[in-house]
Amino acid sequence: MRKKYNPSIILKHVGKKYVIHHEKPTLVEKFINGKDETFLALDDINLVINKGEKVGIIGPNGSGKTTLLKIIAGITMPTGGNVETFGRIVSLIDLQAGFHPELTGYQNIFLNGMILGMHKYEIEQKFDDIIKFADIHQFIDAPVFTYSSGMMLRLGFSIAVHSNPDVLILDENLSVGDENFQVKSQKTIERFFQKGKTIVVASHWLDYLKHNCSRIIWLDSGRVKMTDNANKVTIFYKRFLKKFP
């Protein structure tokens, strides 16, 4: 019996190119030389991630992990290829992206929630839970520009996890709030892993990915070097790492 094809994320020939300016050229120099140095962060990425899959992304620093996550989440646009996603996608990479500094916390909950695809009635139903989780009760009517960075991160995280995403995008560098809030946020993420959500997570922590993910994608210099079940890719990647003590 053939396995049902039920995609959550489809990437076809996706590439991401950055232009590097070492120093600002004059108009004459730019006209004469006519070239800028480019860096290919991702090169011809072809992937299908099915609904409910827990997929890890590994690779050395600079291999394109975070760039790939941002493209899937819609934070960064590819310079080539096509990206298709299905369902509500929530990224825990840039938690402050949807905030307007002049608006209050109250107003930003509705603004950010709607950006994430929540309906107004849905936000109203979860409003008390959002501010309780973020622990910003006394500041809810203050403009966000008066918040500390920790308060904004807590609020952004709380809105994101209460939006009931179909796809959750994670980066191991996620560090939200003080130690108590980090413990609370980690427990929340663990519950998402236990549910039938699609999760894509980039990490250097191989044991964590092996335990939580069914499949791992190994990136190297912006290209997919290997994609297979977590055990198999972990074995090959560990052999690769032993070459560079």
Please state the rounded mean pLDDT for residues 224-244.
90
- Cβ 98 vs Cβ 116: under 8 Å: yes
**Distance, CA of 109 to CA of 115 (rounded, Å):** 10
pLDDT, tens digit (0-9, with 9 covering 90-100), for 174-192:
666 667 888 888 888 888 8
Give the H or E element holding residue 105: helix 105-115
Whole-model pTM: value is 0.82
Q: Please give the biggest Cα pair distance in the chain.
A: 65
Task: Quote the mean pLDDT of the chain.
Answer: 87
| CB contact set of 199 (below 8 Å; sequence gap of 6+) | 53, 54, 55, 167, 168, 170, 192, 193, 212, 213
> Where is average pLDDT lowest: 13-17, 18-22, 103-107?
18-22
Q: For residue 107, what are the CA distances in angstroms to 89, 99, 161? A: 22, 9, 18
Question: Could you tell me which residue, 98 or 194, shows the higher pLDDT?
Answer: 194
Of the chain, the percentage scoring pLDDT greater than 90 comes to 56
Return d(Cα 227, Cα 209) in angstroms, integer: 13
Confidence band of 95 (pLDDT split at 50, 70, 90) = confident
* pLDDT at residue 244 greater than cutoff 70: no
- Reduced DSSP (H G I as helix, E B as strand, rest coil) percent helix, strand, coil of the chain, to 5: 40, 25, 35
What are the residues whose beta carbons fall under 8 Å from the beta carbon of 22, sequence distance 6 or more?
Answer: 37
Per-residue pLDDT tens for 39-74?
889 999 999 999 999 999 999 988 999 999 999 998
What pLDDT, on a 0 to 100 scale, did the predictor assign at position 1?
Answer: 45
Q: Which domains does the chain have, with CATH numbers?
A: 7-242 (3.40.50.300)
In percent, the amount of the chain with pLDDT more than 70 equals 88
